[in-house]
Structure 1
Amino acid sequence: MAPGLPTAMDRPHFIGIGGAGMSGIAKILAQRGAKVAGSDARESATAEALRTLGATVHIGHDAAHLASDATCVVVSSAIRADNPELARATELGIPVVHRSDALASLMEGLRPIAVAGTHGKTTTTSMLAVTLSTLGLDPSYAIGGDLDAPGSNALHGVGDIFVAEADESDRSFHKYAPEVAIVLNVELDHHANYASMDEIYESFETFAGKIVPGGTLVIAADQSGAAELTRRVRDLGELKVVTYGESEGSDLRIHKVTPRGLTSEVTVILNGKFLTFTVSVPGRHYAHNAVAALAAGIALGIPAHNLASALGSYTGVKRRLQLKGEAKGVQVIDSYAHHPTEMTADLEAMRSSAGDSRLLVLFQPHLFSRTQELGKEMGQALALADASVVLDIYPAREDPIPGITSALIIDAAVAAGADVRAVHDKTEAAAVVAGMTRPGDLVLTMGAGDVTDLGPQILAELSK
């Protein structure tokens, strides 16, 4: 039986309650019986989904939104010190709890699986949540994206397993003590918090050191950063290390990935025997995510053939190569990719399933710091498309950096031979992209910001 409410979390107030990570924790607390309240910058389907669970959601940030009887205020690293609700909490002496501490408290008394890595976390966490649910294990889970409806990023289950996406961006994944941890890849990102790969490795080593004694680290064998981390943690206490991938010597070896249109057939070698299953999303990297989920389930003691069968019930998560619709013979697909490795993986996946179709991309860079460090690589990734439109940088939590604009990406793309153009007015972008299409094309809206909103607008332009 899953535990009840953590101490002092029965009347929490969330600042930024509509965010992917924050809303998941709020949802689970509401399902456990907490009186949840919070605020967000704008109205959203997620806010409405929380209201249906009994949460009070205010739009806009105002000190008056914070009830004096709140038992704690939950914040993420994105909340600035001058937020009026945070300042009011300090005045009232209400404890301020970081999102990661709130999530860690929800895992207490359960068997946590924490999914980490520079990218692929949301997909792999989703695969595990769906697979374990299909097997009737009724897990709790907290995911960085919606499975199939607003608010479906989290669930309070009655089983004893808790699956959580573990965020390395601000080192908050150090707060968790999982029974099983997955590390999908280790690359330099989040440049505002990490100055070098050494700092990244140190952070992931700390995360691995939090795995409970006798627990398991499931880690990629093929990715260089993950392989280096494996070398560093091999002798860490009572830790069991299970590697997966296509490399010789992987504990769970991927024998073959066969594209089947918008799905893949995956064959692995486990204990000398072949095991084949279907992954209902395209691309080799999604196949690797599925094998990581398979390895984690095996580490929990679940039969491999049961897991393999149930993995086929996963049909995707919003913003991860999600088909938004079709008009005039043009399909519009949404991608959350914003790091060059993710961009390359999604573009290669779509290219492999596109056949002779043209691939057009509407890309929105995410964060000035990421563009400063990785803009050249982003531009090179866009060379995989037949043509691209690049928007201005989505700032999210950052202030502008002088001289850092989308031009860095466009210049690199042009140098790589790409057909690319800039559109600075986002309101014009849908019409520009629609005007570039012809029947049979695939259009990919790509980025971690609000570029996702432009998919329906492109479809509307095409339908005129």
Structure 2
Amino acid sequence: MAPGLPAAMDRPHFIGIGGAGMSGIAKILAQRGAAVAGSDARESAAVEALRAQGATVHLGHAADHLAEDASCVVVSSAIRADNPELARAAALGIPVVHRSDALAALMDGLRPLAVAGTHGKTTTTSMLAVALTTLGLDPSYAIGGDLDGPGSNAHHGTGEIFVAEADESDRSFHKYAPEVAVILNVELDHHANYASIEEIHDSFETFTGRIIDGGTLVVSADHPGARDLTRRLTGEHVRVVTYGESADADVRIRSVVPQGLRSEVTVLLDGTEHTFTVSVPGRHYAHNAVAALASGTALGVPAADLATALGSYTGVQRRLQLKGEQGGVQVIDSYAHHPSEMTADLDAIRGAAAGSRLLAVFQPHLFSRTRELGAEMGAALALADASLVLDVYPAREDPIPGVTSDLVVDAARAAGADVQAVHDRGAVAELVAGMAKPGDLVLTMGAGDVTDLGPRILDRLAQ
């Protein structure tokens, strides 16, 4: 039976409660019986889903939104120090808890499985959550994206397993003590918090040191950064299980056979072959599924059962999610915002829809990332037949002088891409409608509000 409320979290107040990570923690606390309250900058589907769970959500940030009897205030790294609710918490002496500490408290008493990596965390965590649920194990889970509808990013289960997406961006994954940890890949990203790949490696090494004695680390045998990390690991407090296509992988991927927007994957695990279907295209998603298989079996779930259950996963919102089709044009949404993710998703769509023309609508995410990786983003866009590039989505950052989406556009043109800068989001649907022809695929791509353009494009195509 899952544990109840952590101490001092019976009346939590969340600042930024509608965020992907925050809303999941708030939902689990509400399902455990907490009187959840919070605030967010705007109305959203996530906010509505929390209200349906009984949470009180205020729009905008104001000191009087924080009740005097709140047991704690939960924040993420995106909350600025001058937030009025944070200032009121200090004045009232209400404890301030980082969301990673809140999530760690929710995992106490359970068997945590934490999924880390520069790319693929949300997909792999989702695959595990769906598969374990299909098997009747009723896991708790907290994911950085919705499975099928608003509010489906988290669940308070009655089972003993807790599956969590472990975020490296602000080093918050150092707070967790998993029984099983997954590392999908290791690359330099989050340039506002990491100055070098060496700092990234140090951070992931600290994370592996948090695995409980006798636990398991599941790590890619193929990704160079993950292999480098594995070579750095010392000590024998955990079992290391590698997976991938490399000949020395403990869980060996024998084949990945594309089947339209699906793949058939065959793996060799403990001397037995397992073949199962992955209902999203692309080799990288097949690898995510095998990571899920290896980590689930490390918790004692029978491999044959888990392989079959993984076939019930049908995708997560924003991860090559088909938004619809109008006039013979399919519109697909992708969360890819790092060059490696962009390349993988563009390649996946190319492989799944050979012969179709691919049009990309890309929104760079964060000024710091665009400064460091804008050239690589532009090179990735050369894989599309034509691209529209929007202005940088700032998220939590202030502008950086000289850093604009032109860095991406210029690099894309240098790589031979057909690319156009678009500074008016409202013009995108009309531009796409003028470019797209029956049989084309349109990919909206980025971690910001570019996702909102898919329905608008479909509406315009229908006219």
User: TM-score w.r.t. structure 1 length?
Assistant: 0.99
**Letter of the 2:315 counterpart:** G
**Letter of the 1:439 counterpart:** P
Alignment-derived partner of residue 17 in structure 1: 17
Alignment-derived partner of residue 104 in structure 1: 104
Q: Give the Cα separation in 1 of the matches to 2:209 and 2:443.
A: 39
Deviates more, 1:431-440 or 1:132-141: 431-440
Q: Give the Cα separation in 2 of the matches to 1:216 and 1:148.
A: 30
Q: Give the Cα separation in 1 of the matches to 2:40 and 2:328.
A: 38
Q: Secondary structure at the match of 2:50?
A: helix
**Letter of the 2:97 counterpart:** V
Q: Give the Cα separation in 2 of the matches to 1:72 and 1:237.
A: 38
Q: Give the Cα separation in 1 of the matches to 2:369 and 2:216.
A: 32
Q: Secondary structure at the match of 2:102?
A: helix
Aligned-pair CA distance for 1:118? 0.4
Alignment-derived partner of residue 216 in structure 1: 216
The aligned runs of 1:88-127 (5 Å cut-off) are 88-127=88-127
Q: Give the Cα separation in 1 of the matches to 2:273 and 2:5.
A: 44
Aligned-pair CA distance for 1:122? 0.2
1:406 aligns with 2:437: no
Alignment-derived partner of residue 379 in structure 1: 378
| 1:56-96 CA-partner distances (Å, limit 9, x unpaired) | 01110010100000000000000000000000000000000
Q: Give the Cα separation in 2 of the matches to 1:227 and 1:340.
A: 20
User: TM-score w.r.t. structure 2 length?
Assistant: 1.00
1:156 aligns with 2:156: yes
Q: Give the Cα separation in 1 of the matches to 2:45 and 2:405.
A: 30
Aligned-pair CA distance for 1:463? 1.0
Deviates more, 1:262-271 or 1:33-42: 262-271
**Letter of the 1:50 counterpart:** L
Q: Secondary structure at the match of 2:268?
A: strand
Aligned-pair CA distance for 1:381? 0.4
Alignment-derived partner of residue 300 in structure 2: 301
C-alpha RMSD over aligned residues: 0.6
Aligned-pair CA distance for 1:26? 0.1
**Letter of the 1:207 counterpart:** F
Aligned-pair CA distance for 1:346? 0.3
Q: Secondary structure at the match of 2:169?
A: coil
Q: Secondary structure at the match of 2:242?
A: strand
Alignment-derived partner of residue 325 in structure 1: 324
Alignment-derived partner of residue 280 in structure 1: 279
Q: Give the Cα separation in 2 of the matches to 1:75 and 1:274.
A: 45
Identity %: 78
**Letter of the 2:119 counterpart:** H
| 1:388-424 CA-partner distances (Å, limit 9, x unpaired) | 0000000000000000111111111111110000000
Q: Give the Cα separation in 1 of the matches to 2:370 and 2:348.
A: 23
Residues 23 and 46, structure 1, Cα contact 8 Å, conserved in 2: yes
Number of residue-to-residue matches in the alignment: 463
Q: Give the Cα separation in 2 of the matches to 1:53 and 1:300.
A: 30
Residues 209 and 236, structure 1, Cα contact 8 Å, conserved in 2: no
Q: Give the Cα separation in 2 of the matches to 1:380 and 1:99.
A: 36
**Letter of the 2:392 counterpart:** I
Q: Give the Cα separation in 1 of the matches to 2:395 and 2:237.
A: 40
Alignment-derived partner of residue 34 in structure 2: 34
Alignment-derived partner of residue 178 in structure 2: 178
**Letter of the 1:102 counterpart:** A
1:43 aligns with 2:52: no
Q: Give the Cα separation in 1 of the matches to 2:38 and 2:236.
A: 41
Aligned-pair CA distance for 1:274? 1.8
Alignment-derived partner of residue 363 in structure 1: 362
| 1:130-150 CA-partner distances (Å, limit 9, x unpaired) | 000001000000000000010
1:442 aligns with 2:444: no
Residues 294 and 304, structure 1, Cα contact 8 Å, conserved in 2: yes
Aligned-pair CA distance for 1:271? 2.4
Alignment-derived partner of residue 450 in structure 2: 451
Alignment-derived partner of residue 336 in structure 1: 335
Residues 297 and 307, structure 1, Cα contact 8 Å, conserved in 2: yes
Q: Secondary structure at the match of 2:85?
A: helix
Q: Could you tell me which runs of 5 or more consecutive residues in structure 2 were left unpaired when the two chains were aligned.
A: none
Q: Give the Cα separation in 1 of the matches to 2:364 and 2:235.
A: 38
Aligned-pair CA distance for 1:433? 1.4
